Amino acid sequence: MRLILLGPPGAGKGTQAQRIVERNGVPQLSTGDMLRAAVKNGTEVGKRAKAVMDAGELVSDAIVNAIVAERIDQPDCAGGFILDGYPRTLPQADAVEAMLAERGLKLDAVVELVVDDKALVGRIVKRAKEAEAAGQPVRKDDNPEVFEERLREYYKKTAPLIGYYYAKGSLKSVDGMADIDAVTRQIEGVLAGA
């Protein structure tokens, strides 16, 4: 199973990815985690990424794409993987298609979690209040202003992927506003049909 989860921040992609990992035994590939691992392990791509990060710059698509390609060649990805936080842009989506084609692979599904933005902001505020009430630190991303900026960034750069994958016939949409278990069931239904 090779899967991409799409949706704005706070839509529940991480929660659902973790459930898919537990049920299907495929790894969840986070670009942030992959980048840190490549740097730590001193791979060729990791060295290039470290130099860029040490200079205080953003890691280029070419480096991120190379790190993803390196990671999907690892033995634990032989049975599939879930891409988390990648692709974020149309050029990255093209890169995913190319790297999979080079390996004779394809995506099984791209699942979009359809959510209501206003309700997402409410979720974030509620999560922050619950963390405060429990005496836990409030995540920086749980600030409504920070969250709304992340939403704008999502719609500017990542939302075009919805049309991209729809045109390819691989996009499946689920109701991300349903309760967590219902969303999981919807995703399992998509995967069963893939």
* Strands annotated E in the chain: 2-6, 28-30, 81-84, 109-114, 171-175
DSSP string, 159-186: THHHHHHHHHT-EEEEETTS-HHHHHHH
> Is 150 in the active site?
yes
> Is 139 in the active site?
yes
Catalytic site residue from 19, 36, 50, 127: 127
Catalytic site residue from 19, 36, 50, 150: 150
> Is 88 in the active site?
yes
> Is 23 in the active site?
no
Sign (positive/negative) of CA torsion 56, 57, 59, 62? negative
Residue 149 CB-half CA count within 13 A: 6
In this structure, are residues 115 and 7 in contact, taking their beta carbons and an 8 Å threshold?
A: yes
Catalytic site residue from 19, 36, 50, 88: 88
End-to-end CA, the chain: 9
> Is 123 in the active site?
no
Catalytic site residue from 13, 48, 71, 172: 13
Catalytic site residue from 103, 139, 157, 185: 139
Q: Which active-site residues does the annotation give?
A: 13, 88, 127, 139, 150
